[in-house]
Structure 1
Amino acid sequence: MSELQDVSTNASPIFTLFDSESVDRLTREHILRLMVGVAGAVRIRGFSSPQECADIMEGLDHREFDAYDENLIFPPIAKIGPAAYDFYGSHTLTEEYWEIADEARRLRGTLYHGADPMDLAVERIGRAWGHDVVPARSQGRDMFAGMIREIPNGAKLHFDEIVREFPGILDETPASFLTLNWYLSMPEYGGATRVYRRRWRPADEIHRDGYGYDEKVVENEPVAVVRPDAGDAVIFDSRNLHAVDEIGGAGRRVSLSFFLGASGRGPLQIWS
């Protein structure tokens, strides 16, 4: 495991990008460093093989993507599977959420030789964590995890923190929050993720820009920047403000994404 600062302009000895040579070298220690805030992001090279990615993308070639509500998320982001974010306005996960989740699981289960690629991701993270990886629960039911997303036009500066944005939806509140993005396809250039050592503050609301924030709120903040290859995965604390750059050239930016939460017990909880 090598430590490096990846095209970052603001050096910080306690907010760096850790670059793993392979998934087999990802350890519980790296995940814990993210949780306590002394690492900016962990890039796992070769989280999956090129052939695994090609097979999954072939399975996606003729699948129709849904999208977030463009009145809330613009530029548009295509996706397969429900996000809890889709239901914030309802103040609960409605029956529609569970129906969309069931359909997304069925579709995903056809993508990798009749198997679900999410099973690969869960097994590999569980091996590093050294304990079970289980669905988070809401209203006593297993939540959906493993959304497939395509982000061609970038994503605004934003944060994700379900207990702040959707309080009470999780049956058990995690103490730490991370997000994992497994990249199934990447374009020729662009599409980097920037993670800032900066949490949301109430005063940021004057800089609100749709679902995100004007980038002036992170001026001069330490940043970890990572531009993964297809087959890589990136993990970071989703409570830190982060953004995605627009893509360029040939190719698509497609990832399988989910959140991870650690509580006082051993298992990691996952949801999307």
Structure 2
Amino acid sequence: MRPDNQARNIREKIVNKSKGNPTPVYTKFEEKCSKELVKQDLVDLAAGTLSAIRVRGFFSKELCAEVMENLQTVELGEYDQQVVSPRIAKLGPSAFDYYIDGGIGDEYWEHRDQSDEVRSALAKGIDPLVLAMEKISLCWGSDVRKSSINGRRLFAGMIREINEGARIHFDEIERELPNGLDDTPVAQLAFNCHLEMPKKGGEATIFRRRWMPQDEDNRDGYGYPYDLVKDQPYTSVRAEVGDAVIFDPRNYHRVETNKSPGRRVTLSFFMGLTADGILEIWS
């Protein structure tokens, strides 16, 4: 018998004798709640084995109150209501607001600078975005930086007000603007720190279901029907003022309607993990 055939037969005998149970498969879509942001939690979220991270007291209630008081003097813009309905008020440009022929329109950059200036004045002594970046950088172990297109840094740190809910949708920069960023993210996360919340409602609900090409047959504007996700595992995260909630926006998600008086206002941006292990952010 040739040596290679002999080795093959030995392997076959070993395989045939090893008849164990099938390997178990775990859903692993739980929410993690903690008092501090932990790097491993971000890694697990990017890997798809957590549904969401809730960090209690990411911002102090005093900072949130100061931002909200000064925000009263700011005239907020909104997403195009022909695309995004119900209305979502916001401070700052969204990259997809300015997508033109695979790039970003010129007006975006002026809007970026104006919005950075306004947001940086909402709290005395520190821009809320800078504080968030510092906290995430400390957790990650290296500096968080803003994403760029052709060397120009994108806007990050939108302030959004969602009181009437947001429809089921997903966010994925590589499907919206393929190869648009200078550094392609291998994973994408969404960050929301809650500056004000109603006593009831306003939860973020995340479903364990990602976009598939056939989903476009049921798309209405930016939203998708509940039927796409009705049988999927999900989690609903109820945050308090100052809490940060982070999840993978490539999963379908929605914001529940406020069920009591009050405003639901967040500091929001996306985080992309690059192949070099760098965290980059944009809105």
Q: Scaled by the length of structure 2, what TM-score is found?
A: 0.89
* Structure-2 change in CA distance of 1:13 and 1:201 (3 Å): closer
Name 1:181's counterpart in structure 2. Answer: 192
CA contact (8 A) 2:198 2:258 kept: yes
Q: 1:95, 1:209 → 2: CA distance?
A: 28
Partner deviation per Cα, 1:208-241 (whole Å, 9 max, x = no partner): 1221100110011000110100100000011000
RMSD: 1.1
* Structure-2 change in CA distance of 1:259 and 1:143 (3 Å): same
Q: 1:212, 1:194 → 2: CA distance?
A: 14
Q: 2:277, 2:231 → 1: CA distance?
A: 37
Q: 1:209, 1:94 → 2: CA distance?
A: 25
- The answer to whether structure 1 residue 15 and structure 2 residue 29 are counterparts is yes
Q: 2:223, 2:174 → 1: CA distance?
A: 18
CA contact (8 A) 1:195 1:223 kept: yes
* Structure-2 change in CA distance of 1:235 and 1:206 (3 Å): same
CA contact (8 A) 1:65 1:80 kept: yes
- The answer to whether structure 1 residue 231 and structure 2 residue 242 are counterparts is yes
Which secondary structure does the structure 1 equivalent of 2:185 belong to?
coil
Partner deviation per Cα, 1:128-157 (whole Å, 9 max, x = no partner): 111110000101111110000000110000
Which secondary structure does the structure 1 equivalent of 2:64 belong to?
helix
Shift of 1:258: 0.4
Name 1:106's counterpart in structure 2. Answer: 117
Name 2:97's counterpart in structure 1. Answer: 86
- How many correspondences in the alignment? 258
Which secondary structure does the structure 1 equivalent of 2:214 belong to?
helix
When Rg is computed on C-alpha atoms for both structures, the one with the higher figure is 2
Partner deviation per Cα, 1:165-211 (whole Å, 9 max, x = no partner): 11132011010100000000001211110001110011111221221
CA contact (8 A) 1:70 1:76 kept: yes
5+ long unaligned stretches in structure 2: 1-25
Shift of 1:32: 0.3
Partner deviation per Cα, 1:226-260 (whole Å, 9 max, x = no partner): 01001000000110000001112221000000000
Which secondary structure does the structure 1 equivalent of 2:139 belong to?
helix
CA contact (8 A) 2:190 2:248 kept: yes
Name 2:45's counterpart in structure 1. Answer: 34
5+ long unaligned stretches in structure 1: 1-11
Q: 1:205, 1:42 → 2: CA distance?
A: 29
Q: Which one is further off, 203-212 or 215-224?
A: 203-212
Name 1:57's counterpart in structure 2. Answer: 68
Q: Scaled by the length of structure 1, what TM-score is found?
A: 0.92
- The answer to whether structure 1 residue 210 and structure 2 residue 224 are counterparts is no
- Structure 1 residue runs of 4 or more that deviate by more than 3 Å after TM superposition: none
CA contact (8 A) 1:132 1:266 kept: no
Shift of 1:29: 0.2
Name 2:149's counterpart in structure 1. Answer: 138
Which secondary structure does the structure 1 equivalent of 2:188 belong to?
strand
- The answer to whether structure 1 residue 66 and structure 2 residue 77 are counterparts is yes
CA contact (8 A) 2:99 2:105 kept: no
1:243-262 matches, cutoff 5 A? 243-262=254-273
Over the matched positions of the two proteins, sequence identity in percent amounts to: 46
Partner deviation per Cα, 1:83-127 (whole Å, 9 max, x = no partner): 011023553112200000000000011100153111111011111
Which secondary structure does the structure 2 equivalent of 1:40 belong to?
strand
Which secondary structure does the structure 2 equivalent of 1:270 belong to?
strand
